[in-house]
C-alpha cells in the first residue's frame, strides 16, 4: 500500500513499517513545499493543507519515536537563502515554531512545559499571546543603536542580506533611541502588507499588464526581495517586532518586558499582544482573535504563545527546529471545490512515480492553487493505508469535481470527490506500469521486512533512467547541498541532455574539458557566464562535511541527519570506514551508528547499503579526487563536557530527563542512548541499572546528579 493511501488510516492503526513508508513519502513532499514557500515565495498549496501534512508527519513521529531521527523535517527550518542576495549567517539561529490546531494540542503544550520543568499543576505559568502575522520573517541587527544588517530567515542558519531594502520600510527605524539600547541588538519580526495596500499594489500591477500577486504574504516577500531597492520603497511594507536574536544585554526579564522596550526604542510592536495565565485564557484569546481577524486589516493565520519568563525560556531551550517555550496555534484549514483536469506523473531520484493533480486554478484561503497531491496509486483508487476503502471507496478520475484543502503553504490535498458532478463518460485512472521517463517497468516491490507490497511504484531502470539520474544531480547541486551558483535544475537538464554531466564528478571536470565542450559558444552562454560558472564550481572544491554528506542523496539522510553525522564522525573517512564496517550488524561499528542519539536502524541500514554498493564506491572515489569535504572543527567551548559523549541513567531528582539532555547539548556534549566504549561520562541517578553496570564494566567515569551540576556550572 502506498504511503499516501496510508494517510487515510488513523496513525494508531498503522504498523511501524507502514508508518515508516508514509513518513518517508511525507518528508519528500513537505521538503518540496518548504522550498517553494521560503525560497520562491510561490506556494502551490494552502497554509491549511501544509499544516495538515505537518500534523500527520509529526503524529507519526509521536506514535513511532524511532521515526524521529535527525533528518526529520521537524528539525529543519525554512529553505536555503536565494542566490540573488549576499548571504548573512545568523549569530543566533532563526527557528520556526511548533504548530497546534486544536485546544487539546495547546493543552498538551502546556502540560509538556510543566512536565519538563517539573512544575505542579497549581504553579503559576504565564504566557504572552499575540497574532501570528502572515508575512516574511526579518532580522534587524543594530550596533550602537544603528541598523547595520537586515536579513531574511533563509534556512534558519543563513539568510539573505536585504539591508538596502529594509531601510526603505517606514516601520524600521535606522536608529534606536533610548538609554537602555544594548550595544548589539538583533530585533526580529515580520514584514507584511495591509489588505488595503495589497489591493492597491495589485491594481497597479493590473494597470501595467503585470501578473497579480496571489496574496499579501507573497507580495510582501516579493517586495522585500527586490534587487532594486527603489521598487521596495514604492511598496508600503510594514513591520512588527516581536522577538530577538543576539543581544549583548537584555533590558527585561520577561518576553513582554523586552517587547515593551522595543516600542520605547522606536520599533512598532503589535498592540494586541497580551499576557495570559493558563490554558483557559490562552484559548479564550485564540477564539476572540479568530472572530476579529477579518477586521484587523492584515493577514494572520493563528496565535503565538510564548512562556513569558525568560529564565524559564532558558531552561526549556530548544528541540530540533522549535523552541520548547513557544507554540503557534493555527486557525482551521480552508477548502475549495474545483475540477481535476489531468494527473501528471513525475519520477523522483529514487525512481518513485509520483502523481500530482493538475487542477483548474482556484483560490483557497487567498492563494491560487493549481496543483494538489494525489499521494499514490492506492489513494487514487480510493484505498486507505489499511487496505480498506477511503472516501467511501470512490476513486479519483480526470474530469472529476474535487474538494481540495489548503493545509499549509505546500501542495494542497485532494480530500474528496463530488460524485454527483462526475462526467458520465469518465473512466477509472490507469496508473502507469512503465516509467514515463525511460519506459522501464514500474513495479511495487514486496517489503522484505513486512512481506507487504510497497506503497510506491518505482521505475526499475535505475542508472539508465534519465529522470532518476537528473534528479540525483539536481539534488547534488541543490541549495542545502553543494549550492553551486549558476548551476541549477535548468542547467543540469541542459548539461545532461548534451552528455556533459552524467555523474557528480563530471561537474568538476567541466572546466578541464571546456576546450572540447566550448560552453561559451552555446546558446544562452557567453564568456562571462562561463567564467562565473567555473569560479562557482572551483569555490565548491572544498565544502563543509555535512553538505557533502547530504549531497550524496543517501536515503533517510536529510540535512539535519547529515549535520549530526558530520559532527559525530568529524571526517568523511571516518564515516565511510564505519559504515563499511557496519555491514556486520553485530559489529561495534553498527552499534556506534545506532547509538548516535536520533539515528536508529533505518538510517544505519541506509548508510550500510549506500557505502557497500560498488557503483557508489566508484562514484565516491572519483568525486573525492575532485572535492575535499572539510573536517568538522570542534567548537571552542569553556565547558568541560564539550565534545564528550554523555549518557543519563536512573531517576534524576533535580531536573527532568529532557532538561538534562537539553543542558548537555547546550554545553556542547553529545547525548547517547546507551553506554559503549566511546562513552565519556555516565550521569547516574537512583535506580540506575544495566547502563550503570555496563559503564563500570567498561571503566567509564560515573558521576551523580550533584557532580553533573558542578561540572556543568564550570561551563556556564
Task: Identify whether 132 is a catalytic site residue.
Answer: yes
Q: In the sheet where 184-192 sits, what is the strand order?
A: 146-152, 136-143, 184-192, 238-247
Output the nine-digit C-alpha cell for 703.
558521576
Distances in Å between the Cα of 101 and the Cα atoms of 7, 222, 332, 436 are 18, 28, 7, 39
Q: Are 55 and 131 in contact (CB under 8 A)?
A: no
Output the nine-digit C-alpha cell for 26.
511525507
The CA-based diameter of the chain, rounded to the nearest angstrom, is 79
Give the SS3 label for residue 357.
strand
CA 84 to chain centre: 21
Give the span between the Cα atoms of 416 and 430, in whole angstroms: 19
Residues 6+ apart with CB under 8 A from 307: 113, 125, 126, 127, 255, 313, 316, 325, 326
Q: Are 249 and 182 in contact (CB under 8 A)?
A: yes
Give the SS3 label for residue 414.
strand
Helix, strand and coil in the chain, % to nearest 5: 40, 20, 40
Q: Are 204 and 211 in contact (CB under 8 A)?
A: no
**Residue 562 CB-density burial (10 A; 0-12 exposed, 13-18 middle, 19+ buried):** buried
302: left (phi over 0), alpha (psi -120 to 50) or beta: left
Give the span between the Cα atoms of 57 and 259, in whole angstroms: 33
Q: Are 593 and 673 in contact (CB under 8 A)?
A: no
Length of the chain: 716
Cβ atoms within 10 Å, residue 433:
12
Output the nine-digit C-alpha cell for 533.
560558472
Residue at grid coordinates 543519563 = 648
Distances in Å between the Cα of 59 and the Cα atoms of 49, 74, 105, 601, 602 are 15, 11, 11, 20, 18
Give the span between the Cα atoms of 629 and 351, in whole angstroms: 28
Name which of 377, 598, 383, 449 is nearest 17 in CA terms: 449
For β-strands 628-630 and 542-544, DSSP reports them as parallel
Per annotation, catalytic residue among 4, 80, 132, 306:
132
Output the nine-digit C-alpha cell for 315.
531552561
Give the span between the Cα atoms of 436 and 431, in whole angstroms: 11
Instruction: Give the DSSP letter of residue 267.
Output: -
Give the span between the Cα atoms of 256 and 306, in whole angstroms: 9
- Measure the CA angle with vertex 316, ends 312 and 318; round to 5°: 135
Output the nine-digit C-alpha cell for 200.
492597491
Name which of 5, 79, 77, 66 is nearest 38 in CA terms: 79
Give the span between the Cα atoms of 713 and 637, in whole angstroms: 13
Q: What is the DSSP string of 279-344?
A: HHHHHHHHHHHHHHGGGSSB-EEEEEEEESBHHHHHHH-EETTEETTEEEEEPPPEEEEEEEEEEE
Output the nine-digit C-alpha cell for 55.
500534523
Catalytic residue ranges: 132
Amino acid at each position: 500500500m502506498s504511503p499516501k493511501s496510508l494517510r487515510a488510516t488513523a496513525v494508531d492503526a498503522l504498523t511501524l513499517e507502514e508508518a515508516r513508508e508514509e513518513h518517508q513519502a511525507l518528508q519528500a513532499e513537505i521538503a518540496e513545499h518548504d522550498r517553494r514557500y521560503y525560497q520562491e515565495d510561490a506556494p502551490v498549496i494552502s497554509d491549511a493543507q501544509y499544516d495538515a501534512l505537518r500534523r500527520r508527519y509529526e503524529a507519526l513521529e509521536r506514535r513511532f519515536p524511532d521515526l524521529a531521527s535527525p533528518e526529520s523535517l521537524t528539525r529543519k527550518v525554512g529553505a536555503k537563502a536565494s542566490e540573488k542576495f549576499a548571504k548573512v549567517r545568523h549569530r543566533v539561529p532563526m527557528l520556526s515554531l511548533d504548530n497546534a490546531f486544536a485546544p487539546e494540542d495547546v493543552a498538551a503544550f502546556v502540560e509538556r512545559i510543566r512536565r519538563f520543568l517539573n512544575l505542579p499543576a497549581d504553579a503559576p505559568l504565564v504566557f504572552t499571546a499575540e497574532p501570528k502575522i502572515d508575512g516574511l520573517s526579518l532580522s534587524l541587527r543594530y550596533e550602537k543603536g544603528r541598523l547595520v544588517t537586515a536579513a531574511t530567515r533563509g534556512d534558519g542558519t543563513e539568510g539573505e542580506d536585504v539591508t538596502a531594502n529594509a531601510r526603505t520600510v517606514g516601520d524600521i527605524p535606522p536608529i534606536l533611541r533610548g538609554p537602555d539600547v544594548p550595544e548589539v541588538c538583533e530585533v526580529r519580526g515580520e514584514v507584511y502588507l495591509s489588505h488595503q495596500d495589497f489591493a492597491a499594489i495589485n491594481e497597479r500591477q493590473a494597470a501595467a499588464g503585470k501578473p497579480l500577486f496571489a496574496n499579501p504574504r507573497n507580495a510582501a516577500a516579493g517586495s522585500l526581495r527586490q534587487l532594486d531597492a527603489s521598487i521596495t520603497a514604492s511598496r508600503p511594507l510594514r513591520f512588527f517586532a516581536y522577538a530577538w536574536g543576539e543581544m549583548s544585554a537584555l533590558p527585561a526579564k520577561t518576553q513582554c518586558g523586552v517587547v515593551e522596550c522595543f516600542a520605547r526604542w522606536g520599533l512598532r510592536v503589535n498592540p494586541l499582544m497580551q499576557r495570559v495565565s493558563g490554558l483557559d485564557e490562552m484559548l479564550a484569546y485564540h477564539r476572540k482573535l479568530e472572530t476579529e481577524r477579518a477586521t484587523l486589516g492584515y493577514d494572520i493565520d493563528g496565535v503565538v504563545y510564548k512562556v513569558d519568563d525568560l529564565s524559564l525560556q532558558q531552561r526549556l531551550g530548544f528541540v530540533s527546529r522549535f523552541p520548547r517555550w513557544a507554540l503557534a496555534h493555527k486557525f482551521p484549514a480552508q477548502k475549495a471545490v474545483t475540477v481535476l483536469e489531468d494527473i501528471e506523473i513525475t519520477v523522483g531520484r529514487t525512481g518513485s512515480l509520483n502523481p500530482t493533480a493538475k487542477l483548474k486554478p482556484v483560490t483557497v484561503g487567498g492563494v491560487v492553487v493549481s496543483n494538489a497531491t494525489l499521494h499514490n496509486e492506492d489513494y487514487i483508487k480510493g484505498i486507505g493505508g489499511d487496505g480498506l476503502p477511503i472516501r467511501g471507496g470512490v476513486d479519483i478520475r480526470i474530469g472529476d469535481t474535487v474538494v481540495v484543502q489548503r493545509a499549509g503553504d505546500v501542495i494542497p490535498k485532494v480530500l474528496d470527490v463530488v460524485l454527483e458532478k462526475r462526467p458520465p463518460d469518465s473512466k477509472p485512472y490507469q496508473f502507469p506500469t512503465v516509467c514515463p521517463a525511460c519506459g522501464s517497468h514500474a513495479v511495487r516491490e514486496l517489503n522484505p521486512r513486512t512481506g507487504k507490497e510497497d506503497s510506491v511504484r518505482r521505475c526499475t531502470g535505475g542508472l539508465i533512467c534519465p529522470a532518476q539520474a537528473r534528479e540525483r544531480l539536481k539534488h547534488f547541486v541543490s541549495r542545502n547541498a553543494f549550492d553551486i551558483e549558476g548551476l541549477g535544475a535548468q542547467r543540469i537538464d541542459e548539461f545532461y541532455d548534451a552528455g556533459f554531466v552524467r555523474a557528480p564528478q563530471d561537474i568538476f571536470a567541466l572546466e578541464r574539458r571546456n576546450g572540447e565542450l566550448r560552453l561559451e559558444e552555446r546558446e544562452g552562454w557567453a564568456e562571462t557566464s562561463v567564467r562565473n560558472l567555473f569560479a562557482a564550481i572551483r569555490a565548491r572544491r572544498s565544502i563543509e562535511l555535512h553538505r557533502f554528506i547530504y549531497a550524496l542523496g543517501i536515503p533517510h539522510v536529510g540535512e539535519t541527519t547529515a549535520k549530526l553525522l558530520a559532527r559525530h564522525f568529524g571526517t568523511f573517512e571516518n564515516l565511510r570506514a564505519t559504515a563499511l564496517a557496519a555491514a556486520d550488524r553485530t559489529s561495534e561499528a553498527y552499534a556506534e551508528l545506532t547509538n548516535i542519539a536520533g539515528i536508529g536502524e533505518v538510517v544505519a541500514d541506509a548508510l550500510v547499503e549506500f557505502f557497500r554498493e560498488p557503483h557508489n564506491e566508484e562514484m565516491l572515489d572519483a568525486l573525492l579526487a575532485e572535492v575535499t569535504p572539510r573536517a568538522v572543527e570542534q567548537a571552542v567551548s569553556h565547558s568541560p563536557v564539550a565534545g564528550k559523549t554523555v549518557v543519563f541513567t536512573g531517576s534524576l531528582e533535580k531536573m527532568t530527563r529532557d532538561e538534562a539532555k537539553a543542558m548537555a547539548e547546550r554545553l556542547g556534549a553529545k547525548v547517547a542512548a546507551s553506554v559503549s566504549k566511546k562513552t565519556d561520562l555516565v550521569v547516574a541517578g537512583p535506580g540506575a541499572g544495566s547502563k550503570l553496570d555496563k559503564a563500570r564494566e567498561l571503566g567509564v567515569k560515573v558521576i551523580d546528579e550533584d557532580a553533573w551540576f558542578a561540572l556543568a556550572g564550570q561551563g556556564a
